[in-house]
Structures are given as structure tokens and as C-alpha cells.
Amino acid sequence: MAIREQVQEILGNLPAAEKKVAHAFLANYPSSGLSTIAELGALAGASAPTVLRFVARLGFGSYPEFQRRLRADVQAQLMSPLERARSTSPVPENQALKASFCAVTGNLDATLKAVSESEFEAACDMLSDQRSACCFIGGRFTDAIAGYMAAHLRIIRPGVRHFGGQTSTWRDQLLDIRPGDVAVLFDIRRYQSDLVRLGELLVERKARIILITDPWLSPIARSARVVLPCAVDADRTWDSSVALLALAEALIDRVSRSQADGARARMQTLEDIHWNNPPR
């Protein structure tokens, strides 16, 4: 688990003074954690002993140990597929399929631990609110999941769309965003600058953002109402998107159940359209 993810997990249970340190760390990640104890304390308005207690609560025996782990987290976040390919552990002959499935299983378990029930339910409540429109956008590899999610929820409730087309057209599609609308953004390492900027524009238009990201958290997290981190590292060249898809399906299922009556009516209407208007 990345340090930032650890901090978010324990944030609600921290004493007030340590919570100030945690907020300063998260708001200025990673530079705040790479500064001195005194600098982090000054940033948080807390004492040096409070910073050390915060670090100890994360399981580190010293501040230098905390910083070594933080540097490793940042390095892992910035690794390119080429660098991951060079550092990937060798797989025994005839065990590639098993190794791949084991890695994916580990990611699913890690994601289940990282995503809190309260954040998940908050996302479901936002997606179920039919007073607000919903839009879905993803990155180079994750946009397929964004489209998949939009295609399902479009059947369940009105006002759902997928930001399609070239990224240059995204701003045109912002014209229809209204205050309170919900935007689901998928962004994993190495984060897309155009998606980050889109997140900022959505906030300017007072949209509520649900971010589905990785353990290191896209910069969009600063603007998001709900952040759902998924494990993606599978010790191979390419990151795994299985946990992101599993989370998307869990959200689809939860919203479908909460909208059961309306969803059934819409699904019946769709069935009637299909059967009464067969393709020619």
C-alpha cells in the first residue's frame, strides 16, 4: 500500500494534531514528506514530536525510513512500461497464466481493502441522483472502462453520457455540464495532463467528481468529491485494469439495485424498442 493511501485509510482516526500533519502531507504530496521534520511541522502548524508520532503511526521507526519509502513510492508511480519491463520478475516456464491470475487476484484483494465502504456508498449515491446528469471520461487505456460503465448506466437512469471523440472536443462537451452534475474520471499512472485539466474545468463548472485511480492517486484527487483507488501493479510490463473494471461493475450493480423500479421500467421500454423495431 502506498504511503498516501495509508494516510487516507487512517485519517479519520487520527488525533487532531496529527490530522493537521496528515492534511498538510496530502495537500502537498510528495514534496511535503520529502522536506525536513521542521518544515513539515511548520507547514501543518504542528510540532516536530507530532510529526514523528504521525510517522510512527504509519509504522515507520524513523523519519528517514519514512522518506526512503516515500521516494520508492514516487519512483514506482513514475515508472514507464519500458522501465517496468526491465524490472519485472522472471516467470517460470509454463506458469505465465497462473502468475498473471495470481497477480490480478492480489490486486482485487488490495483494492477491496483500499476502497472504504463509505466512499463507495457516496459514489453510488451520487450516481443514483437523477436530478444530476452523469458523464464518464477516461484516459488512453481506461476510457474503454468509462464507456462500458456509461453504456450500462444509460439503460438504468437518464442523463448519462460518455465524453467521446478527440480530447480537443472535451471542452465543447463541457457546455452541457451544470452545477451539481456528476463526472466520473478514470486516470492512472502516468497521469494525463489533459484529463487533469478537464478535472479543473469541471470543478469550475461546479460538477462533482468521482475519481477512479491508482494507489498513488492522480492529481485530479485534489478536485474530487470521492476518490476510489485501485491496485494496478501486477509486476509486469503493463498495469492491470482488472480491479478498475471490477470496481466499475460493483458500482453499476449497486446503482441498478438502488434504482430497481425505474431501471426495470426503462429496461422494459428498451426491450420493446428492440423487439418492435428489429434491424432490417
CA 94 to CA 102: how far, in whole Å? 14
User: Which pLDDT score, from 0 to 100, does residue 82 have?
Assistant: 57
Q: Three-class SS of residue 272?
A: helix
Omega cis (within 30) before 190: yes
Residue 114 near residue 215, CB atoms below 8 Å: yes
For strands 208-213 and 182-187, give the pairing: parallel
User: Which pLDDT score, from 0 to 100, does residue 280 have?
Assistant: 63
**Burial readout 93-131 (b: 16 or more C-beta within 10 A, e: otherwise):** eeeeeebbeebbebbeebbeebbeeebbebbbebbbbee
Question: 130: which residues sit within 8 A by CB, 6+ positions away?
Answer: 157, 158, 159, 259, 262
Joined grid coordinates for residue 91: 516467470
User: Which pLDDT score, from 0 to 100, does residue 197 have?
Assistant: 93
User: Which pLDDT score, from 0 to 100, does residue 157 have?
Assistant: 92
For residue 236, give the nearest of 68, 73, 94, 97 by alpha carbon: 97
User: Which pLDDT score, from 0 to 100, does residue 234 have?
Assistant: 75
Give the per-residue SS3 of 230-250: CCCCCCCCCCCCHHHHHHHHH
Low-confidence ranges of the chain (pLDDT < 50): none
User: Which pLDDT score, from 0 to 100, does residue 87 have?
Assistant: 58
Residue 213 near residue 229, CB atoms below 8 Å: yes
User: Which pLDDT score, from 0 to 100, does residue 65 have?
Assistant: 95
User: Which pLDDT score, from 0 to 100, does residue 268 have?
Assistant: 83
User: Which pLDDT score, from 0 to 100, does residue 163 have?
Assistant: 93
Angle at the Cα of 104 from the Cα atoms of 217 and 5, rounded to 5 degrees: 25
